[in-house]
Structure formats: C-alpha cells, structure tokens
Structure 1
Amino acid sequence: MPETTLEELEIRIAYQDDTISQLSEQIYRQDQALSRLAARCQALEQRLTQIQEQGDDTPSPTDERPPHY
C-alpha cells in the first residue's frame, strides 16, 4: 500500500467534513418537514374527530347516487 502524505490526508478530511456538513443539513431539513407533516396530521385527526362528534346526518357528496342510476 502506497504511503499517504499529510496533504492527501488533509484533503480527505476536508471532503469528509464537507460531506458531514451536507448530511447534517439534509437531516435538519427532513426533520423540519417531518414536524410540519406531523402537525398537519394531528390537525386532520382533530378535524375528523370534530366531524364524527357532530354526527351530522346530512349525506355527503360521496354518499349521493350518481345521476346515471
């Protein structure tokens, strides 16, 4: 195995530091997106619970018969 010079090691470490920084930024962005999606999911669950508790007996558009029947 050829001997690695100090300069080659410094270059390799610089690339690794850059890669670590990019990965860290990507993880941060994914965590933010996941937090937003979790909040939206919770809001939808609350809205669904409200609708179910209201017990509205009016048919929804999905419950109506299509006009061709």
Structure 2
Amino acid sequence: MEINEDRLVEIETKIAFQENTIKNLNDELYEQQREITRLGAICDTLAKQIGALSAFSPGSDAPADEKPPHY
C-alpha cells in the first residue's frame, strides 16, 4: 500500500508543478500580448506621422536619383 501512496504523492506533486508552470506561462503570454498591442499602436501612429510628413515635404515629387543642379 505504501507504493501506491508514494505514487499518488508524486503524481500530485507533478500536477501542482504543472499547474504553476501553466499559470506562469499564461501570465507571460498575457503580458506579451499587451506589449504587442502597445507596439502595434505605436507603429500605426508613426506610420500616420510619416505619411503626414511625406505629404508636406517640399520636393517630394522629385525623383530620388536625379542629380542636383550643380553637377
């Protein structure tokens, strides 16, 4: 009977460890998702700012490979 009780304690210990690991992984996943959402919002804001700057930049329609007039 002692062997069955030892096995039961071992199984309960493993389950408790796994439950703790799952909780820690879930917490980390939640924090990562929050960070991804925050970074996505920052990227959207930066893309809008770049678009606004491109629209108002002087000479934005000039080709990038055109030589300056002093050549």
Q: TM-score, normalised by structure 2?
A: 0.71
Show the counterpart of 1:48: 50
Paired positions, count: 55
State which of 16, 19, 24 in structure 1 corresponds to 2:18.
Answer: 16
Percent identity over the alignment is: 29
Higher relative contact order, structure no. (Cα contacts within 8 Å, ≥ 6 residues apart): 2
Q: Which stretches in structure 2 are left out of the alignment for 5+ residues?
A: 60-71
Which has a greater percent of helix? 2
Larger Rg computed on CA atoms: 2
Let me know the Cα RMSD of the aligned residues: 1.5
Rounded to whole Å, the distance in 2 between the matches of 1:45 and 1:56 is 19
1:42-63: CA deviations, max 9, x gaps?
A: 1000000001111246xxxxxx
Show the counterpart of 2:36: 34
Q: Which stretches in structure 1 are left out of the alignment for 5+ residues?
A: 58-69
Question: Which consecutive segments of 4 or more residues in structure 1 shift more than 6 A?
Answer: none
Q: TM-score, normalised by structure 1?
A: 0.73
Rounded to whole Å, the distance in 2 between the matches of 1:56 and 1:10 is 70
